[in-house]
Amino acid sequence: MYAMTRIAALAAIGALTLTACSVTTKSSSDSVGTEELEKQVADSLTEQVGQAPKTVDCPSKLEAKEGANTRCTLTTPDGTKYGLTVTADRKSSEEAVQIDIKVDQKPK
């Protein structure tokens, strides 16, 4: 049963390569910090896939301006690593920025 769930979750992660997901996250006036970014990406992917990633690592903060992006690494529960791109879509207020998340099609 666990193997079937894991396969379904990995297939769902692969589906995220076809569509991006968006969330609104808190930001300072000029950027979203790495911890907040990692939390929002993990929460969003968990909601989309139904299973939490083992880790999300975003080594750089995200500038809170439209079009800014950063690369992160998603590690699945079985240890498979995927790259992903987080892009700032727009500031929704002085304290929040809309982000789009796109997981790479193939693992690293």
Confidence bin at 34 (pLDDT 50/70/90):
very high
Q: Is pLDDT of 57 > 60?
A: yes
Give the helix ranges, DSSP H, for the chain: 2-15, 34-49
Please tell me the least confidently modeled range out of 29-33, 43-47, 58-62, 74-78: 29-33
What's the mean pLDDT when you consider all of the chain? Answer: 76
Domain around 86: 2-107
pLDDT of 96 reads 73
Question: In angstroms, rounded to a whole number, what is the distance separating the alpha carbons of residues 81 and 92?
Answer: 31
Contact 62, 68 (CB under 8 A): yes
Please tell me the least confidently modeled range out of 29-33, 75-79, 81-85, 99-103: 29-33
The domain total for the chain is 1
Report how far apart, in Å, the C-alpha atoms of 81 and of each of 9, 40, 51, 52 are.
14, 18, 15, 14
| Tokens matching residue 13 | 């992660």
| Tokens matching residue 46 | 């968990």
